[in-house]
């Protein structure tokens, strides 16, 4: 409970500070006088909510969406059809369907209705968007944008077509917009403090590592989507009520790109970045608008030039945005962080063995594994070796659910893991590392470990969880805890990946070439690190490596694979003495 | 029956223009994983080139050469000025860079020429019609389909037979490996942009012969369709781009021609229906028709 309070306090405090800064700038600007200045501030505040709306989805999940403007549009029109006074509505929309001719709401009611309607539609469509991978979600949202645009332009009974609707009662002053902006700030900031929000950030950082640590991509992405649609709807609704009219031109792809530029120029990963970007782009836009010729109707051309230049410079010089990872909320988080002094607690030692039996994998006609199997007993360190192409990594991927076996089974005790996906395998108690290092590079070292610890708290509560700071100390990373993980040197990154896996409180650690690219002395040190971490969490270890010296030092038991089958197994001495192994590695003597 | 054939011919005409543009987008995606939203600007460049030459007494007999040359030049310049510097950035950064160029292009035409549309005369024969078994066909339909087929054949020859084409395909397969084999990254990428420019230039000629006018944002609509076509086909797949382009063209003309018969009152939603079908397609088959697999080692 204490944590929830702390997080709420932090988000609210941070938001209040940011908004006060924006308000101060706005106040200074409007004090120069003129109604147009005040309306520019309204425009900025409405955009501000929209930018925070897309920040929650795009910024946290890293999935580009062009479709958010469609939802702003739905919200704006929903607001219009329920807020326009009945007499006026009868005149401008005589054939309005769904019995809307007699529905009327005040400003607050209309906003709530708009948000509910939009979130309902968005939640349905979001299932499709969040299930897809790669470019598909972006393309789906792009198609949605055009669908909504066409519907609005053509469903004249409801929307009056391209001309738009006017006569929405205007809310006077910017008070409501400030309130809306504050709500949006707190929601966006709090989302990043929540477990589900942090999980969605993990999926942004690495789409393969997150599931391998038990984070389901769909769930976290979907949560971000729904929250983001809600904020977008709020922004759309308030904007409609501050302008008094809606028309399809306000929600084109171009309008969406303006919002997107605001987000990426400031820095999409953080709330502070979204705030800075909105203020800078609004100011720049206005400045360039005044350069244009007011006699001409086409006053948009100079702002267009500004947008192009701003976006191009940002991408060439600071693709992560001006603030990148710097964030007021993050700063507050670090300042408020107090590590709990953890007494080292006796770990739960596993009781179940990990067994893979008669695993066969065929890639087309190629047989990668031909009846290989192995057993790792609780607390034991098993090394898996074999020449290139022997099937080590394939067996590893079968066990962790990345590759489906053609035949055979993988079991943890009496639990069958054969059909589980990586998320299920991780939650069942197998935590892996990757051959080519898959950290969450822009997150802090501590957050890398803390994220997995969160998964453990949720799905592996029956095990004693290792303390995050204790693990950091074990790996010698305490002093680097607040650094971005991607900035660590190679050896430390390897150690971080090891303790990140350990934080899952797994029964088995699966390490894929933990010493690749390391020097001999570093490899030796890694033997101690792996053993110490495994002992700390009471886990068994299955490790692949090319380095025979490392494997024989670290393993209690060695399995040698060759051409998809187990060639030999036994203690390191037995394996070393086995002539068949020497032959597979060095070629026949005869 | 006549209506169906008529519709199919129309669809092939629009679709082959999409195909040429989609092919360029797919080609660039293959070599640098960039979905180039600035690709449509090459049409705009071609249009203003044509406008400029018409003002100075240009004739449609040689203008296509100028249009294509301008598009190639613009495409290579684009790469040199912007994409070269973000080559190893994330797809997200690449995509936004292309948006920036698109935006800049719009602004520059607006400021230095005019925000208003500039029209110029079309070749006189474009809308001449002749009858073929009861179906009236425009000369332009035949020209469009013929030119597209010729261009696609040229593309096939270039990418199957020439050293340049093979290097580009190798780079699309695995850039690092191709570099180790001695392929020069800069040359391959510039070359790919030049070829994409050529394809866009041909497309621009076909578009301009029908609708001879230039305006700053004319490239954007074509671009959207082309991107969608390329993704439908499967980004990075050449066959996919062509199939995707033709499929999209046919889908558009068929919904426009036949939707009112399905349900009266629905005709006004024909464009919406096209995009709904596209959205559903991406949900069902997110990697496109011809999936290009990028093996990722884990």
Closest CA to A210 of A200, A195, A222: A200
Report d(CA A384, CA A402) in Å as an integer: 18
Of B97, B108, B282, Cβ closest to residue A132? B282
Q: For residue A212, what are the domain limits?
A: 7-251
Can you read off the two tokens belonging to residue B295?
């093996």
Do the chains contact at B286 and A397, CB–CB below 8 Å?
no
Burial of A93 (0-12, 13-18, 19+ CB in 10 A): buried
Domain for residue A265, yes or no?
no
Do the chains contact at B272 and A150, CB–CB below 8 Å?
yes
Q: Which residues contact A103 (CB under 8 A, 6 or more apart)?
A: A81, A82
Q: Considering chain A, what percentage of its residues have pLDDT values greater than 70?
A: 96
Give yes or no: residues A387 and A526 share one domain.
yes
Report d(CA A220, CA A455) in Å as an integer: 12
Residue A362 sits at φ, ψ, to 5 deg, of -115, 125
For Cα atoms A116, A122, A126, give the angle at the middle one, nearest 5 degrees: 145
Mean pLDDT, residues B182-204: 89
Closest CA to A152 of A276, A236, A228: A236
Domain of A393: which CATH number?
3.40.50.300
Report d(CA B152, CA B145) in Å as an integer: 10
Number of independent structural domains in chain A: 2
Give yes or no: residues A245 and A372 share one domain.
no
For Cα atoms A485, A486, A492, give the angle at the middle one, nearest 5 degrees: 65
Confidence tier at A423 by pLDDT (50, 70, 90):
very high
Report d(CA A392, CA A409) in Å as an integer: 16
**How far does A344 lie from chain B, in Å, by closest CA?**
34
**How far does B267 lie from chain A, in Å, by closest CA?**
10
Which residues of chain B make contact with A136, given a CB cutoff of 8 A?
A: 231, 282-283, 286-287
Query: What is the SS3 assignment for A246?
Result: strand
Closest CA to B228 of B211, B206, B212, B243: B243
CB crowding B218-254: b at 16 or more within 10 Å, else e: bbbebbbbbbbbbbbbbbbbbebbbbbbbbbbbbbbb
Q: Which residues contact A31 (CB under 8 A, 6 or more apart)?
A: none
Number of neighbouring beta carbons within 10 Å of residue A284: 17
Please give the distance of CA B210 from its chain centroid, rounded to a whole number.
16
Mean pLDDT, residues A324-334: 84
A510: left (phi over 0), alpha (psi -120 to 50) or beta: beta
**N-terminal to C-terminal alpha carbon distance within chain B:** 55
- Among A205, A223, A251, the domain boundary falls at A251
Average pLDDT, chain A: 88
Of B100, B115, B268, Cβ closest to residue A301? B115
**How far does A144 lie from chain B, in Å, by closest CA?**
7
**How far does A336 lie from chain B, in Å, by closest CA?**
33
* β-strand partners of A561: A566
Which residues of chain A make contact with B93, given a CB cutoff of 8 A?
A: 315, 319
Q: Are B169 and B162 in contact (CB under 8 A)?
A: no
Q: Are A34 and A212 in contact (CB under 8 A)?
A: no
On the question of pLDDT at B263 being above 70, the answer is: no
Domain of A76: which CATH number?
1.10.3470
Domain for residue A146, yes or no?
yes
Domain for residue A529, yes or no?
yes
Best residue in A136, A266, A434, A512 for a mutation probing chain B (most B CBs within 10 Å): A136
**How far does B139 lie from chain A, in Å, by closest CA?**
32
Q: Checking DSSP bridges between strand A381-385 and strand A557-562, what pairing results, if any?
A: parallel
Confidence tier at B66 by pLDDT (50, 70, 90):
very high
Query: What is the SS3 assignment for A355?
Result: strand
**If interface means Cβ-Cβ distance under 8 Å, which residues of chain B face chain A?**
35, 82, 85-86, 89-90, 92-93, 95-97, 99-108, 110-111, 115, 220, 224, 227-228, 231, 235, 268-269, 271-272, 275-276, 278-279, 282-283, 286-287, 296-298
Mean pLDDT, residues A389-400: 89
Helix axes A35-54, A175-193, angle to 10 degrees: 20
Which residues of chain B make contact with A154, given a CB cutoff of 8 A?
A: 268-269, 272
Of B35, B105, B268, Cβ closest to residue A135? B35
In chain B, the residue whose alpha carbon lies closest to the alpha carbon of A64 is B92
**How far does B151 lie from chain A, in Å, by closest CA?**
28
Tell me what ipTM this predicted complex has. 0.85
Can you read off the two tokens belonging to residue A409?
């089974």
Q: Which residues contact A539 (CB under 8 A, 6 or more apart)?
A: A350, A379, A502, A506, A507, A508, A509
Confidence tier at A590 by pLDDT (50, 70, 90):
very low
Give the CA radius of gyration of chain B.
19
Domain for residue A534, yes or no?
yes
| pLDDT tens column, B109-158 | 988 888 788 888 877 777 777 777 777 778 888 888 899 999 999 999 99
DSSP H/E element including A562: strand A557-562
In chain A, the residue whose alpha carbon lies closest to the alpha carbon of B107 is A305
pLDDT attached to residue A502 = 94
For chain B, counts of helices (H) and of strands (E):
11, 4
Confidence tier at A344 by pLDDT (50, 70, 90):
low
Residue A408 sits at φ, ψ, to 5 deg, of 100, 180
Of A140, A143, A309, Cβ closest to residue B104? A309
| pLDDT tens column, B215-228 | 988 998 899 889 98
Which residues of chain B make contact with A260, given a CB cutoff of 8 A?
A: 96, 99
């Amino acid at each position: 409970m204490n944590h929830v309070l702390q997080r709420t306090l932090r988000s609210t405090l941070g938001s209040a500070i940011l908004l006060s800064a924006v308000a101060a700038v706005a106040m200074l600007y409007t004090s120069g006088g003129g109604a147009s200045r005040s309306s520019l501030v309204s425009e900025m505040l409405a955009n501000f909510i929209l930018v925070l709306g897309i920040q929650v989805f795009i910024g946290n999940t890293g999935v580009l969406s062009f479709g958010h403007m469609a939802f702003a549009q739905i919200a704006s029109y929903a607001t219009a059809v329920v807020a326009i006074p009945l007499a006026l509505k009868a005149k401008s929309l005589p054939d309005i369907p769904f019995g809307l001719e007699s529905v009327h709401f005040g400003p607050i009611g209309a906003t709530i209705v708009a948000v509910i309607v939009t979130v309902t539609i968005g939640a349905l469509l979001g299932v499709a968007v969040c299930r897809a991978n790669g470019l598909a979600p972006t393309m789906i949202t792009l198609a949605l944008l055009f669908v909504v645009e066409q519907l609005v332009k053509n469903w004249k009974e409801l929307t009056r077509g391209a001309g738009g609707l006017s006569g929405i009662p205007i809310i006077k002053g910017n008070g409501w917009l400030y309130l809306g902006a504050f709500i949006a700030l707190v929601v966006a900031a709090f989302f990043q403090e929540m477990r589900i929000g942090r999980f969605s950030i993990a999926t942004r950082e690495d789409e393969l590592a997150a599931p391998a640590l038990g984070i389901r991509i769909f769930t976290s992405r979907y949560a971000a989507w729904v929250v983001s649609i809600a904020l977008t709807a709020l922004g759309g609704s308030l904007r409609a009520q501050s302008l008094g009219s809606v028309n399809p031109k306000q929600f084109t792809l171009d309008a969406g790109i303006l919002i997107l530029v605001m987000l990426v120029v400031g820095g999409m990963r953080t709330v502070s970045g979204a705030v800075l970007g909105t203020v800078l782009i609004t100011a720049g836009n206005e400045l360039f608008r005044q350069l244009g010729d007011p006699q001409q109707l086409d006053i948009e051309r100079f702002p267009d030039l500004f947008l192009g230049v701003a976006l191009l410079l940002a991408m060439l010089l600071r693709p992560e945005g001006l603030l990148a990872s710097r964030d007021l909320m993050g700063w507050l988080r670090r300042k408020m962080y107090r590590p709990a002094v953890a007494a080292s607690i006796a770990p739960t030692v596993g009781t179940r063995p990990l067994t893979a039996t008669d695993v066969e994998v065929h890639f087309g006609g190629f047989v990668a594994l031909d009846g290989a199997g192995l057993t790792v007993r609780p607390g034991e360190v098993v090394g898996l070796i074999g020449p290139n192409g022997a099937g080590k990594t394939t067996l590893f991927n079968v066990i962790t659910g990345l590759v489906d076996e053609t035949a055979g089974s993988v079991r943890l005790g009496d639990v069958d893991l054969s059909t589980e996906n990586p998320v299920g395998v991780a939650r069942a108690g197998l935590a892996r590392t990757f051959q080519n290092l898959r950290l969450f590079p822009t997150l802090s070292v501590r957050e890398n470990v803390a994220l997995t610890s969160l998964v453990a708290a949720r799905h592996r509560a029956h095990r004693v969880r290792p303390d995050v700071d204790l693990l950091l100390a074990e790996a010698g990373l305490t002093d680097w805890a607040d650094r971005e993980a991607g900035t660590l040197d190679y050896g430390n990154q390897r150690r971080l990946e090891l303790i990140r896996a350990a934080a899952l409180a797994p029964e088995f650690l699966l390490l894929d070439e933990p010493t690749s690219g390391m020097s001999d002395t570093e490899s030796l040190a890694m033997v101690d690190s792996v053993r110490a971490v495994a002992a700390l969490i009471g886990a068994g270890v299955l490790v692949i490596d090319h380095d025979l010296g490392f494997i024989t030092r670290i393993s209690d038991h060695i399995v040698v694979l060759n051409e998809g089958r187990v060639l030999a197994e036994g203690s390191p001495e037995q394996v070393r003495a086995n002539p068949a192994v020497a032959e597979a590695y060095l070629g026949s003597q005869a | 029956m006549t209506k169906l054939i008529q519709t199919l011919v129309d669809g092939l005409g629009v679709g082959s223009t999409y195909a040429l543009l989609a092919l360029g987008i797919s080609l660039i995606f293959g070599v640098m994983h960039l979905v180039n939203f600035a690709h449509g600007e090459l049409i705009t460049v071609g249009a203003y080139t044509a406008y400029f030459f018409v003002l100075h007494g240009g004739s449609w007999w040689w203008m296509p050469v100028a249009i294509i040359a301008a598009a190639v030049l613009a495409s290579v310049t684009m790469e040199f000025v912007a994409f070269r510097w973000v080559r190893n950035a994330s797809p997200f950064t690449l995509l936004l860079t292309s948006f920036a160029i698109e935006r800049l292009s719009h602004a520059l035409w607006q400021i230095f020429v005019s925000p208003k549309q500039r029209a110029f005369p079309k070749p006189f024969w474009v809308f001449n019609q002749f009858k073929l078994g009861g179906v009236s066909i425009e000369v332009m339909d035949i020209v469009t389909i013929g030119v597209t087929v010729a261009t696609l054949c040229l593309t096939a020859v270039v990418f199957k037979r020439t050293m340049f084409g093979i290097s580009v395909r190798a780079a699309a397969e695995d850039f690092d490996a191709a570099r180790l084999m001695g392929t020069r990254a800069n040359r391959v990428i510039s070359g790919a942009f030049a070829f994409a420019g050529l394809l866009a230039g041909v497309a621009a000629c076909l578009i301009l012969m029908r609708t001879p006018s230039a305006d700053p944002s004319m490239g954007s609509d074509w671009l959207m369709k082309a991107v969608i076509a390329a993704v439908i086909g499967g980004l990075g797949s050449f066959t996919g781009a062509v199939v995707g382009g033709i499929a999209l063209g046919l889908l558009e003309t068929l919904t426009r021609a036949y939707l009112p018969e399905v349900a009266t009152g629905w005709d006004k939603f024909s464009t919406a229906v096209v995009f709904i079908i596209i959205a559903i397609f991406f949900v069902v088959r997110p990697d496109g028709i011809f999936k290009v697999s990028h093996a990722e080692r884990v």
